[in-house]
Amino acid sequence: MNLMKELLEQNASLKPPKIGDIVEGKVILKKAFAIYLDLGVFGTGVIYGKEFKKAKKELKELKIGDKILAKIIDLENEEGFVELSVAGAAKEIALDVLRKKKEAGEKIKVKILGANKGGLLTKISGIDAFLPVSQLSPEHYPNVEDGDPEKILEKLKEFVGKEMEVKILGILEKDVQVILSEKLAKEEKEIAKYKVGDVVEGEVSGITDFGLFLKFGENLEGLIPLAEIDPNLNFKIGERIKAKIISIEKNRAVLSLKT
């Protein structure tokens, strides 16, 4: 019977670990090219070989008794140890933090490290991040008269080395890349200028089966639901109208045309 199976049978209430899980271990032995961790009821873990080399500098600084987080890459190797990776854990932990920031709608300051024709490049907690041109705020959008990609790139290069406030738009798990939006961060600042009951003037930007979209302010868009529109009125895209804010939820305004 293998060690992991035996441990699980002795502790039936334990949730079995699986490859990819992040676990905490205590350093119990250090060798020239390996480090061993006490994983409690899950036995002993080892970081060695290429996984040791990837994080050699950080691992060399650890002392007996120190606790670290690591990622399981093999439940039981030939010597009966749980094989671990610190480099893999660092990436998973960083991604988990970024998922939570996205869910909370948290604003993040990033330093722009590079640019290509599609947008700006940076890193957050060691993870590659991309800010597409379409997600730049209006003040930073590279307005180039003839739409020449080379001229757009030159404009984007001006942001390298500068800081920007952004929100996380999405996380590409497979490619391990974060997609950012400066536009979303700016919208939050602007919507804070308004309150329920304010009357705004804007331009009809969309007509759907469930209502109208109205662009107002510097770069805000709110929904006017069908229930808040007089059925005898007709509107067209681009038409300027006034509407009252009846609610603001998650930095989005819901408006009404009814008095």
Domain boundaries, the chain: 3-90, 105-188, 193-256
Give the pTM.
0.57
pLDDT band of residue 134 (cuts 50, 70, 90) is confident
Please determine, for residue 33, whether its predicted confidence score (pLDDT) is greater than 60: yes
Please determine, for residue 200, whether its predicted confidence score (pLDDT) is greater than 90: yes
Residue by residue, DSSP assigns the chain as --HHHHHHHHTTTSPPP-TT-EEEEEEEEEETTEEEEE-GGG-EEEEEHHHHHHTHHHHHT--TT-EEEEEEEESS-TTSPEEEEHHHHHHHHHHHHHHHHHHHT--EEEE--EEETTEEEEEETTEEEEEEGGGS-TTTS---TT--HHHHHHHHHTTTT-EEEEEEEEEETTTTEEEEEHHHHHHHHHHTT--TT-EEEEEEEEEETTEEEEEETTTEEEEEEGGGS-TT----TT-EEEEEEEEEETTEEEEE---
Q: What pLDDT does 58 receive? A: 78
What is the rounded average pLDDT for all residues in the chain?
86
Task: Pick the range with the lowest mean pLDDT from 8-17, 64-73, 109-118, 159-168.
Answer: 8-17
Q: What pLDDT does 225 receive? A: 92
Q: Which fold has domain 105-188?
A: OB fold (Dihydrolipoamide Acetyltransferase, E2P) (2.40.50)
Q: What pLDDT does 219 receive? A: 74
pLDDT band of residue 39 (cuts 50, 70, 90) is very high
pLDDT band of residue 5 (cuts 50, 70, 90) is low
Please determine, for residue 84, whether its predicted confidence score (pLDDT) is greater than 80: yes
More confident residue, 133 or 219: 133
Q: What pLDDT does 6 receive? A: 57
Q: What pLDDT does 8 receive? A: 46
Please determine, for residue 136, whether its predicted confidence score (pLDDT) is greater than 60: yes
Please tell me the class of the 193-256 domain. Answer: mainly beta
Architecture of the CATH domain 3-90: Beta Barrel (2.40)
Same fold, 3-90 and 105-188: yes
Please determine, for residue 112, whether its predicted confidence score (pLDDT) is greater than 70: yes
pLDDT in tens, 137-151: 878 888 877 778 898
